[in-house]
């Protein structure tokens, strides 16, 4: 019998069967192990039921976990440094309804107590560069301090700038478990050579009143110029007419050597014995020669065949100068020479033996004063001073050829200063610096180093070049000729001037590179930028300016520096002991700038003079263009003259130079070789280079000291 309900029951069963198959999806996820130690990996496994697809999320970026996944599987995490949550969502269909299930897995990470950090320094190269290598574990960040600065990778390597002393490098790494600090001190190759390689000397000007260096054998080269016989002391107001080569065409008078007063009223035999004696006179032509309130003329002979006159000029201890008049000439004379005592009339020697002996302890000669850099109006190469001119006593400074001759004769490095009035942008072949570089390359012995400085103390308002430089900087900014000078909208005309001098130095470097080749820069040709030693903020701003506008300064600059003079604010001192003690206080303060403490981190902390640290930060050398004791503010010149001659003054100078060398600085150019006793301060090593002093004996001893002895900074 047919059941009336049979068909509906079959339909309901089919429907029930369909519902039973399309049940809700589910998913499970777990980690093996559930908790891991810091920096380890874990394996995640998951499975699902009634799911057609799965998608992962969470984790960390380096995992590559967050993407579509199969409905079951396993996954190995990256190394984990903190507890991390992983999610997986699986989707299925419940009849016509889509269902999704999400599960979370948090993998616990056991944190370490603190990061593990190691840092080491490789052996230094000959140039003083060392390689730092470091690694860290359990760290999230690392920060450098002491000899370097800034955030560092968790592991890596770093090339130090050229180092002259052992330098501390510190790395501080921080992680979830705490902070760890590790340091390393670079070890240098033992220094070879002698201290003289770190010492230079400023030479005296070429003139009749200030040349105690005894530079030339022929004092005609330092003579004042040709004047009338009635007023031989004043060739500016009463000049004698001259021919195209500069020789007088009528009777004349001339001052060869003049002598300033001595505050201690000592005789010439005590202060300037080299002035005394018999000079050898010669000239082409004939004349009646007389001393002008000085000197005795003996053995005068005229040779009609050679048209040459010779004579002896005897200078005695009461003669205040060496001045001669030439009368009864036949249209003047030519080829006038007056050789210092002790040199034969036929000598070809240019520089005196006394001068050469005096400069022997020094590696480098600075020609600031022979070139008359301060207030120099020279601007054209074809108008420069010539070697063939009768005298080198000239507002243009000494001929460049004599600078070269002295370097070649002594094998010493030279420090030259470029006149500020020249046009560095001159694109013609007559560009002053291009011509100078060409002359140096052609004439200078191979291996002689040339330090090149743009002008001198363009921060010093006492010199014409300072105002000229500032005015040029203002004009460049206002006209838009040089937009870099105000790149940071810092409206300070003095700083525009400092920056312009640095930009000029860069241009000088580029011009020398065009002649000598780029590889010569910072090797044979060493451009330097000098600033005020006691205001390191100037140097900081200038180097930041150069770096921002032209790239790393050490690509075109060899070094930076200043003039570490030391003085005393006391002006009422009455005895040498008190004066020297007060001077020692000034020396202790000024010495701070020679040492690399505190570290410079890109923005100066003005807790001291940090010239050395600024140089280290930019990978530059530190050089001092001048320096020494400065007593120019003392009204009692007799007191300063006595103090200058004491062994204690020599010892004080030695202590400054010793500290400078020991702290890894590159070159100290002392100011200066000689100075008359009436000079404003006892700067000179000598009063007369033929007469040894306590200072000269100290410099000879210091120069011969092995560099390996200078270890304490």
The C-alpha atoms of residue 210 and residue 532 are separated, in whole angstroms, by 26
Q: What is the pLDDT of residue 8?
A: 38
Q: Which residues of the chain have pLDDT under 50?
A: 1-22, 126-127
Give the distance from CA 467 to its chain's centroid.
Answer: 23
The C-alpha atoms of residue 547 and residue 425 are separated, in whole angstroms, by 21
Q: Following CA atoms 30, 32, 38, 41 in sequence, which dihedral angle do they give, to the nearest 10 degrees?
A: -100
Residue 689, exposed/middle/buried by CB under 10 A (0-12, 13-18, 19+)?
buried
Q: Do 367 and 417 touch, CB atoms closer than 8 A?
A: yes
Q: Do 565 and 590 touch, CB atoms closer than 8 A?
A: yes
How does strand 116-121 pair with strand 131-137? antiparallel
Q: What is the pLDDT of residue 18?
A: 37
Q: Which residues are paired to 437 by β-bridges? A: none
Give the distance from CA 336 to its chain's centroid.
Answer: 43
Phi, psi of 10 (to 5 degrees): -65, -45
- Residue 429 to residues 432, 506, 570, Cα–Cα distance (Å): 9, 19, 54
Whether the upstream peptide bond of residue 354 has omega within 30° of 0, thus cis, is no
The C-alpha atoms of residue 385 and residue 378 are separated, in whole angstroms, by 9
DSSP string, 283-332: EES--EEEESSS-EEEEEEEETTTTEEEEEEEE-TT--EEEEEEES-SS-
Closest to 676 (Cα-Cα) out of 372, 418, 320, 301: 320
The C-alpha atoms of residue 657 and residue 345 are separated, in whole angstroms, by 41
Q: Report the sign of the C-alpha dihedral through residues 383, 387, 389, 393, in that order.
A: positive
Q: Do 124 and 189 touch, CB atoms closer than 8 A?
A: yes
- Residue 493 to residues 475, 477, 489, 500, Cα–Cα distance (Å): 10, 10, 11, 10
Instruction: Give the DSSP letter of residue 208.
Output: T
pTM for the predicted model, two decimal places: 0.77
DSSP, collapsed to helix, strand or coil, labels residue 278 as strand
Q: Do 213 and 348 touch, CB atoms closer than 8 A?
A: no
Q: Do 537 and 603 touch, CB atoms closer than 8 A?
A: no
pLDDT tens for 78-104 read 888 888 999 999 998 887 788 888 999
pLDDT tens for 12-30 read 333 333 333 446 778 888 8
Instruction: Give the DSSP letter of residue 364.
Output: E
The C-alpha atoms of residue 310 and residue 44 are separated, in whole angstroms, by 109
Q: Do 413 and 364 touch, CB atoms closer than 8 A?
A: yes
Phi, psi of 307 (to 5 degrees): 55, 45
Give the distance from CA 684 to its chain's centroid.
Answer: 24
Q: What is the pLDDT of residue 7?
A: 39
Q: What is the pLDDT of residue 34?
A: 82
Determine how many CB atoms are found less than 10 A away from the CB of residue 19: 11
């Amino acid at each position: 019998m047919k059941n009336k309900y049979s068909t509906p029951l079959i339909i309901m069963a089919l429907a029930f069967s369909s519902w039973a198959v399309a049940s809700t999806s589910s998913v499970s996820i777990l980690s093996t192990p559930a908790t891991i130690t810091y920096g380890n990996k874990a394996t995640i496994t998951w499975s699902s039921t009634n799911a057609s697809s799965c998608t992962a999320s969470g984790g960390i970026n380096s995992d590559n976990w967050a993407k579509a996944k199969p409905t079951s599987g396993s996954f190995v995490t990256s190394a984990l440094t903190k507890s991390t949550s992983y999610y997986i969502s699986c989707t299925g269909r419940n009849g016509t309804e889509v269902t999704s299930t999400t599960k979370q897995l948090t993998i616990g990470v056991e944190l370490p107590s603190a990061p593990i950090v190691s840092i080491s320094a490789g052996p230094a190269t000959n140039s003083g560069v060392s390689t730092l290598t470091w690694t860290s574990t359990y760290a999230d960040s690392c920060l450098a301090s002491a000899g370097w600065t800034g955030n560092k990778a968790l592991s890596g390597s770093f090339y130090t700038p050229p180092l002259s002393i052992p330098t501390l490098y510190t790395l501080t790494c921080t992680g979830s478990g705490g902070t760890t600090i590790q340091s390393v001190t670079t070890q240098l190759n033992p220094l070879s050579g002698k201290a003289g390689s770190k010492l230079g000397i400023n030479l005296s000007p070429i003139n009749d009143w200030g040349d105690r260096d005894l530079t030339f054998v022929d004092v005609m080269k330092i003579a004042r110029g040709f004047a009338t016989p009635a007023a031989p002391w004043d060739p500016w107001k009463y000049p004698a007419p001259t021919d195209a080569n500069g020789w007088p065409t009528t009777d004349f008078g001339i001052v060869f050597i003049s002598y300033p007063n001595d505050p201690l009223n000592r005789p010439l035999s005590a202060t300037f014995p080299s002035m005394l004696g018999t000079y050898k006179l010669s000239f082409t032509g004939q004349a009646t020669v007389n001393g002008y309130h000085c000197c005795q003329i003996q053995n005068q002979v005229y040779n009609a065949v050679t048209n040459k006159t010779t004579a002896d000029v005897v200078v005695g201890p009461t003669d205040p100068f060496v001045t001669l008049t030439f009368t009864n000439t036949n249209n003047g004379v030519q080829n006038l020479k007056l050789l210092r005592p002790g040199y034969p009339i036929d000598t070809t020697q240019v520089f005196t033996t006394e001068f050469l002996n005096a400069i022997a302890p020094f590696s480098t000669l600075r020609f600031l004063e022979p070139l008359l850099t301060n207030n120099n109006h020279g601007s054209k190469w074809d108008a420069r001073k010539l070697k063939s001119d009768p005298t080198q006593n000239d507002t243009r400074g000494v001929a460049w050829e004599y600078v070269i001759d002295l370097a070649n004769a002594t094998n010493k490095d030279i420090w030259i200063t470029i006149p500020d009035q020249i046009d560095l942008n001159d694109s013609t072949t007559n560009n002053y610096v291009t011509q100078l570089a060409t002359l140096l390359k052609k004439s200078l012995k191979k291996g002689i180093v040339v330090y090149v400085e743009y002008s001198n103390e363009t921060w010093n308002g006492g010199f014409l070049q300072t105002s000229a430089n500032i005015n040029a900087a203002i004009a460049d900014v206002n006209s838009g000729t040089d937009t870099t000078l105000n790149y940071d909208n810092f409206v300070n005309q003095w700083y525009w001037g400092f920056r312009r001098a640095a930009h000029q130095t860069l241009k000088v470097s580029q011009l020398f590179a065009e002649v000598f080749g780029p590889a010569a820069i910072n090797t044979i040709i060493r451009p330097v930028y000098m600033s005020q030693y006691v205001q390191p903020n100037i140097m900081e701003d200038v180097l930041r300016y150069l770096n921002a506008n032209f790239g790393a300064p050490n690509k075109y600059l060899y070094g930076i520096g200043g003039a570490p003079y030391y003085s005393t604010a006391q002006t009422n001192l009455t005895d040498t002991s008190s004066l020297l003690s007060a001077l020692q206080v000034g020396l202790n303060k000024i010495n701070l700038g020679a040492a690399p403490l505190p570290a410079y981190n890109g923005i100066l902390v003005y807790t001291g003079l940090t010239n050395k640290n600024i140089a280290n930060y930019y990978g530059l050398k530190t050089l001092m263009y001048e320096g020494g004791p400065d007593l120019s503010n003392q009204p009692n010149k007799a007191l300063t003259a006595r103090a200058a001659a004491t062994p204690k003054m020599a010892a004080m100078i030695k202590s400054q130079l010793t500290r400078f060398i020991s702290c890894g600085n590159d070159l100290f150019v002392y100011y200066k070789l000689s100075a008359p006793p009436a000079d404003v301060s006892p700067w000179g090593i000598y009063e007369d280079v033929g007469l040894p002093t306590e200072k000269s004996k100290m410099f000879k001893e210091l120069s011969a000291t092995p560099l390996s002895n200078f270890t304490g900074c």
